[in-house]
Amino acid sequence: MANDGSLAMREERDSMGVVLVPSDAYFGASTQRAVENFPISDLRLQPAFNHALAQIKLAACQTNRDLKLLGKLQAAAIEQALREMLDGRFERWMVVDVFQTGSGTSTNMNVNEIVARRAREILAEGGSDETVHPNDHVNLGQSSNDVIPTALHLSAYELIVSKLVPELTHLEHALLVKARRFRKVVKTGRTHLQDATPVTFGQVFGGYAAQLAEARKHLTATAKRLSRVALGGTAVGTGLNAHPKFAGAVCKLLSQQYPFAVREARNHFRAQSSIDDVVAVSGALRMCGAALMKVANDVRWMGSGPRAGFGELTLPEVQPGSSIMPGKVNPVIAESLRQVVAQVVGNDASIAFAAQSENFELCVMLPVVAYNLLQSITLLANASNNFKSRCVVGLQTTDRGPALVESGLALVTALVPVIGYDECARLAKIAAKSGESIFAVASRETSIPTRKLKRLLNPLALTRRSNPAGS
């Protein structure tokens, strides 16, 4: 938003002097300097983060008013401006690049300046000549160094609780529905990408649901660490220039706005000089991604074909799969999910790198950490919902799975308790060479009665814990 000569400009002043700012902009000199200093990307911190920042400042305003640190008129104007911000009125004026000052000071000042300017307008409209300063009043009792990590914690935790966990739960339930529906449909198990003893599709999908449930539980437990916030530490953790009651009162007010209790950090020096809690949550998101990748990969493979692949599943046809091959349909929803997981793993690596780059009393890669963490949460939530509704719900089994079991060599494992490992290996080699089924070879090569052989080689019975050979 640097001036190219075509914009009407106004003069704004900060501690470094005069800056030209677009005349209609609600932000001021500090934000304009950031716009000019960081022309790096088109990435901006997400609305969820800005919303949390506004919530913090609203609670801070109310607390400072109650502590008689802000005049009633000033507090009322600031509060009205912040409520307008929470309604999304000023989102277009949140203009600072993600790749900015590592503390997020530019974003903090972006909010302070918008709120201060709007509050001054409100006061003037009411006939008051009182002023509102972005630092002295809107930022009272705060520092970017404690406000930005607090906004990160609150926005991430809220998205996890309100969006990601519900979507993971919905997907888990959809997988359980398939598990029940497919409970008697057998397929070839596979280990090392080679044929193994039979399983049912119900067991497989039940395993997927259980894996996702464990990842969800781990995320839910880990995310609770985000309820502890850095607010109250101000610049370096000492709480300089904040009223002793400030942080506790603000946290109490914030607890009324969020679906969880917001608590002051036990140790402000840890809270501001590390992002260990965020690293833990990002790791839990990676675990969720790994579970989703497992399911997406298996679904793609089982749906491969339809003639030259496994062809055990039919995936919903959502769009043509090729610009050159008519009739081709690809597993695009699963592919989309896999790409999301790749992004989440990359984001986690970036967050881990930021954590290792901390120095002294502050982590100075907070904006990119916030952007990546919130992106991971949002992507996983959206992709989980999409995978559930556009893929899992419409999955169907084919007769290919049971057919492959009948012709598979791994069935011979059921005969080991009766004729021994070596003899079973001999039968398997004969079947592999001749193309016959294990049943046909065993009928010819062993003295096992046909009725017992059928019972021993019943694919569905082999998926249960009981030992057919001992029955």
322 is catalytic: yes
**Which residues lie across from 362 on neighbouring strands?**
359
C-alpha dihedral, 74 to 79 to 84 to 85, nearest 10°? 100
- 3-class DSSP state for residue 77? helix
Whether 456 and 414 have beta carbons less than 8 Å apart is answered as yes
Cα atoms in the Cβ-side hemisphere of radius 13 Å centred on 216: 22
The conformational region for residue 186 under phi > 0 = left, psi -120 to 50 = alpha, else beta, is beta
| CA distances in angstroms from 306 to 134, 315, 337, listed in the order given | 64, 10, 21
**List 23, 41, 162, 322, catalytic entry:** 322
Match 């909010």 to its residue by tokens. 111
C-alpha dihedral, 319 to 323 to 325 to 327, nearest 10°? 20
The dihedral of CA 74, 77, 79, 85: what is its sign? negative
192 is catalytic: yes
Assigned token pair, 371:
């952007």
Residue 115: CB atoms within 10 A of its CB come to 29
Whether 366 and 146 have beta carbons less than 8 Å apart is answered as no
Assigned token pair, 418:
């009766």
Whether 365 and 279 have beta carbons less than 8 Å apart is answered as no
User: Measured between alpha carbons, how far is 293 from 373 in angstroms, rounded to an integer?
Assistant: 19
Burial class (CB in 10 A: 0-12, 13-18, 19+), 455: middle
**Pairing assessment for the beta strands 9-14 and 17-22 based on DSSP bridges:** antiparallel
User: Measured between alpha carbons, how far is 216 from 27 in angstroms, rounded to an integer?
Assistant: 40
Query: DSSP readout, 269-331?
Result: HHHHH--HHHHHHHHHHHHHHHHHHHHHHHHHHHT--SSSS---EE----S---SSSTT----
* CA of residue 270 relative to chain centroid, distance: 25
Residue 15: CB atoms within 10 A of its CB come to 7
**List 192, 323, 466, 471, catalytic entry:** 192
Residues tagged active-site: 192, 322
